[in-house]
Chains A and B, each alone.
Chain A
Amino acid sequence: MANSYTDIPELKFHLHNDAMRHIAELKEQGYADAGKYDYAPVDFDDAMDSYEQVLEIVGDINANIIAPNAESVDAEGAHCENGRVRYAQKTYENLDAINKAGLNGMTMPRRYGGLSLPVVVYTIASEIVSAGDASFENVWSLQNCIETLYCYGTEEQRQKYIPRICEGETMSMDLTEPDAGSDLQAVTLRATYDEANDCWRLNGVKRFITNGDSDLHLVLARSEEGTHDGRGLSMFIYDKRNGGVDVRRIENKLGIHGSPTCELTFKNARAELCGDRKLGLIRYVMSLMNGARLGIAAQAVGIQQAAYEEAVAYANSRRQYGKEVINFPAVYDMVATIKARLDAGRSLLYQCARYVDIYKSLEDIQRSRPLTSEERQDMKRYQRLADAFTPLAKGMNSEYCNQSTYDCIQIHGGSGYMQEYRCQRLYRDARITSIYEGTTQLQVVAALRYITNGTYFTVINELSDAIAAQLDTCEGFDATAFCSRIADMKALLEQCVEFVKSKNDQDLLDYCGRSLYEMTSYIIMCQLLLVDAMRCPELFQKSLTVFFNIAESEAARHSVWIKGSEASLATR
């Protein structure tokens, strides 16, 4: 029987990374839960076996329920009726299967009914589900907003809400408004304290809210009257059981039809404050967004995987001029490029997920005991790495996702343009990934400071050292040659960064941001893919060869562009 986990050996490869022992041990803290919960692992091997088995269940449900349902979900879409959302019929079928399998509260501690899985495992599951139906991934994975409530809510709120999410209730994060999209500082939804009932009341409108008719909402609202910036915003919990929020309409979108994008009206809706007042945007939303961005990166990789499968299958079966079209170099180029981007982007995604796992686990340990100074340093280091890698993983994978689904249609020729083929849905679903949870342009902004302050160069140097240390053990191909190509790309990036910095012009820096960002991303992805290929040449050597070729040509293109950037900016 088809299984979207076991059928893709690259996923198992990324699960079985050397860092997993450290991650599982941080997460399980001496495997202390083993005596308290019958489903807790007793040691590392047991934990890895459990992760495998969980992912096999996700793979089974995706291959046999979610993916086969996707076409029907796309055709029917979600609807708005009497102020409520009605999902497509097959979305309910997907939810039923997910809930019966108990795939909820994936990363939550067991004491609240969660599965206590690492972010890496949750991210693989997200990727798998996205490959089947990217719209369903939104409905399912928004459960991860609970992470923010867990981090910043009170113990009473955790006990009240987390078990409900672990039982399968859904979530949404209500941030954007008609006049507050990328610029969330402009949020106006009003939160006022209701003395008589000892609660907060929310009034106003939210727009573009994914899965906006969920059971539990995290809402960004203006609690400080008279303020106009981010410092007047707080985070609130709205429980649908209390009523007061209606869905005015849902958007008619290009893709992800199964995921309802809602306009919400809050009419005196009862709400609870989550965390401290005034920290809604500056602390909690930033944390929420980083998790969500990793989720979109996983979604983008999942769609790329689906596009790759469609492309390979079609290119190997379609015959023209007496042979399968994959035999034409021009078609092979597209297929190989899709796979190379997929392997490189996926490696970036899971490296980022590992960083998140390490710092989040340390953060969690800190809730029960003070960290040692070494642990504290580690937490800071991995948080910085996660913050630096998240915009790369989100931005690059969502752009790749668009490019690869475009190429997938191109490989299909005229057929790919027809509604009967899956590739056209993938193309439509892909388009949003580079827009929501922060556009690619905002990912560039988030990454730019780490380019100019040297953080990425430190990362690149550390990765280069790690690769150099493993060179002796590499068999099967000459990794040294790849190392020197990385060094050349890095030297080119250094020249470009110096050139832009020397102009001392913020506008020029922003103008060149995308190029610097991509050059940086390419170098890091080359390094990560090289590490993967050294560990497992049979899976990654071909992609390594193709991807280095792409990376070097892109780096050269960007460096040329940067040299002419001043003149082209002057045309505005």
Chain B
Amino acid sequence: MKIIVLAKQVPDTHNVGPEAMTPEGTVNRSALPTVFNPEDLNALEQAIRLKEQHPGSTITMLTMGLPKAVEVLKEGVFRGADDGVLLTDRALGGADTLATSYSLAQAIRKIGEYDIIMCGRQAIDGDTAQVGPQVAEKLGLPQITYTEEILSCDGQTIVCRRHIDGGVETVEAPLPALITVNGSAAPCRTRNVKRVMANKHREFTTWGVADIDADASQIGKTGSPTNVKAVKSIIFKAKETRTLTASDADISALIKELKENNTI
């Protein structure tokens, strides 16, 4: 089987400091350490398990981002992927989920053959959970989202257990299909020492806009209808406990206060 894993290099939101935002209210990416998007690691683990169950399978990582994003490709190979492609081009910058999914779909078309595309449910920098489903739409593929575990895959169909509100459900899809994986799925294994030693100097294929035959009007900022007005860094601080009376006035006042301090 040929598996493609979509991965994103994201700011490490666990280590956000005061310099995380620019004065203009956008994310100051250069000041933040970057990490492999956590749920993409869950997806990679599911891919590696599939590969183990189906000897001869290959895993190709695909990422879009700055040249530095090649680190996630390397990390993927250290843990069990076979290869990786970096999609990087200034023209791709400022993309929202629509432009991103278009660009990724074009890159996947260029990769060519695949049976399964896997990615994390969402990235911790945007939390939209839109890119995976949009890539599936653009490629005309069935999709299973919020996957917790791949229960079986025979090369023709795939059966996944999905995490849904209040329970789980088991879903089957014909291949090729796109699977988004939830953070509650098995954590990704660590690096493998032989893979690290063998691949530490590895170089990866890099594609720009010209390589993926993309329509300029659908990529980057031009292709992004979304505009971020501002991003605020909000720090919650627990204060005193308070007892409310069961009156409409008290409850309305509380809701107003919670909205004002960005809790809701």
Please give the residue numbers on chain A whose beta carbons come within 8 Å of chain B beta carbons, in ascending order: 38-41, 49-50, 53-54, 57, 60-61, 97, 100-103, 115
Contacts and interface: CB of A to CB of B under 8 A. Distances in A.
A39 B193 CA distance: 9
Interface residues of B, number: 11
Contacts of A41: 197
Contacts, number: 45
Contacts of B192: 100-102
Nearest to A47: B197
Interface string B166-195: 000000000000000000000001111111
Nearest to A104: B193
Nearest to B52: A100
A122 to B, nearest CB: 12
Contact of A103 (B193, B195, B197): B193
Most buried by A among B189, B195, B196, B197: B197
Contacts of A101: 189-193
Given A49-B200, A53-B200, A102 B189 contact: no
Interface of A is mostly: helix
Contacts of A115: 193-194
B189 A39 contact: no
A101 B200 CA distance: 15
A53 to B, nearest CB: 5
Most buried by B among A40, A50, A53, A100: A100
Contact of B189 (A40, A49, A97): A97
A38 B198 contact: yes
B193 A57 contact: yes
A84 to B, nearest CB: 26
Interface string B43-74: 00000000000000000000000000000000
Most buried by A among B189, B190, B196, B200: B190
Contacts of A97: 189-190
B190 A57 contact: yes
B188 to A, nearest CB: 10
Given A54-B196, A60-B191, A102-B193, 11 more contacts: A39-B198, A50-B196, A53-B193, A54-B193, A57-B191, A97-B190, A100-B190, A102-B194, A102-B195, A103-B193, A115-B194
Contact of A60 (B190, B194, B198): B190
Nearest to A50: B197
A100 B195 CA distance: 11
Interface string B6-18: 0000000000000
B200 to A, nearest CB: 7
Nearest to A38: B198
Contacts of B189: 97, 100-101
A51 to B, nearest CB: 10
A54 B197 contact: yes
A54 B196 CA distance: 8
A41 B197 CA distance: 8
Contacts of A102: 192-195
Contacts of A39: 193-195, 197-198
8 contacts: A39-B193, A40-B197, A49-B200, A54-B197, A57-B196, A97-B189, A100-B192, A101-B191
A261 B80 CA distance: 35
A263 B27 CA distance: 62
A97 B192 CA distance: 10
A371 to B, nearest CB: 29
A186 B200 CA distance: 52
A38 B201 CA distance: 11
7 A-B pairs with least C-beta separation: A39-B197, A38-B198, A39-B198, A100-B189, A39-B194, A102-B193, A102-B192
B193 to A, nearest CB: 5
A115 B196 CA distance: 12
B35 to A, nearest CB: 9
A102 B79 CA distance: 11
B190 A53 contact: no
A54 B197 CA distance: 8
Contacts of B195: 39, 102
A61 B190 contact: yes
Nearest to A54: B193
Contacts of B200: 49-50, 53
B36 to A, nearest CB: 11
A536 to B, nearest CB: 27
